[in-house]
Amino acid sequence: MAATILDGAKIATAIRAEVAAQVKALTAAGIRPGLAVVLVGHNPASEIYVRGKVRSSEEVGIYGEQHTPADTATTAQLLNLIGDLNRRDEIDGILVQLPLPSHVDSKKVLMAVDPAKDVDGFHPMNVGFLSTQRPGLVPCTPAGVMEILKRSHIPITGCEAVVVGRSDIVGKPVAMLLINANATVTVCHSKTHDLPGVCRRADILVAAIGRAGMITRDFVKPGAVVIDVGINRVTDRAEFERLFRGNAKREETFRTKGSVLVGDVHPDVVEVAGAITPVPGGVGPLTIAMLMSNTVRAAKLRRGVPTPQVR
C-alpha cells in the first residue's frame, strides 16, 4: 500500500491564514510587523525567492521592503545597512538572502543582524535559545518540518528519529527540535557507518543532504514517516532514468523543460513508507510560511506580547 502523502502546500496555506489573523490583531493594536529582505547583486534564483518572500509578507499584511545593494557592495557597506535596519523600530525581521558575493564576509554580515530580528534563526544566540528551550527564533525549514509532523498528527514523543545531514541550516536545528519534542534522535552524515542500517531504525526519517534520490527503499523501515527536505534539479538523462523510469508524467516534464525536481528521497520509497512529503509540494511551501510566522513572532517578542514557545 502506497504511503500517505503529507501535503505541505495545504499546511502552509493554513499557517499563512493564522499569521494573517495575528497580523490583523497586532495592527489593530498599533503594531504592524515589518520584514526587510536584503538581496545583494543579481542572482536570478535568489531574485525569485526574494520576490516570493516579499509578496507573501504583503499577502498576510506584514510590511515588507527589499534592499538591493549592487554586487560590488563591500562588507563594510552591508554592515552599515544591517546596522540601519537594526535601529529601525518598524522593522521586526531582517533576512539576508544567501549566497552573498564571494568577496563579502558572509559570517560577519549574518552575525551583525540583531538576534531579536533574526527571522532566519541563524544567529548563535538563537541557536543557543533553541538548544536550551528558551524563547527565540527557529530556522524556517526545520520549524516547517515540525509543523508538518504536528499538523499531520504524527506522534513524536518516544519515537526514534534519524536525521540525514548535519548542516547548521537544517540538520542540526531539526535534530534539536525533535529532541525538544521528546524523540530519540540520531544525526547521520557522510562518515556514518552503515547508513542504510541506521536509517532503517527510524520511525521518523528526515533527509536533508542535498543529493538527488540518495535515500532508497533500502534505507526505510516499512511504515516509517519520511520527511524529504531536499530539492534537486535533475538534468541528466541517465540520472532521470534511475529515478523516474516509467513515470509518464515526469517524462513529459523532463522532455518539455529539460529538467525535473526531485528530493533527497528516491520516488520508490513511497511504496515502503507509511507517510511521506512530496517534492515539490512538501517541505518547500512551509519555509516561506514559517518566515511569515517568525516575523510575527519577532514582533511579539520584541514588544513583550505573549507568544507560545516553539518546541
Instruction: Report whether pLDDT(311) > 60.
Output: no
Would you say the C-alpha torsion 237, 243, 244, 250 has a positive or negative sign? negative
Residue spans of beta strands (DSSP E) within the chain: 4-5, 34-38, 63-67, 93-96, 160-164, 184-188, 204-207, 225-228, 232-234, 260-262, 275-276
pTM: 0.94
Tell me the residue ranges of DSSP E strands in 104-255: 160-164, 184-188, 204-207, 225-228, 232-234
Domains and CATH numbers, the chain: 30-116 (3.40.50.10860), 140-286 (3.40.50.720)
The predicted-structure confidence for 20-60, as pLDDT tens digits, reads as follows 999 999 999 999 999 999 999 888 878 888 888 888 999 99
Single-letter amino acid code for the residue at 126 = N
- At residue 150, the pLDDT reads 98
Tens-place pLDDT, residues 136-155: 999 999 999 999 999 999 99
Catalytic residues: 53, 97, 120
Distance of alpha carbon 191 from the chain centroid: 24
**How long, in residues, is the chain?**
311
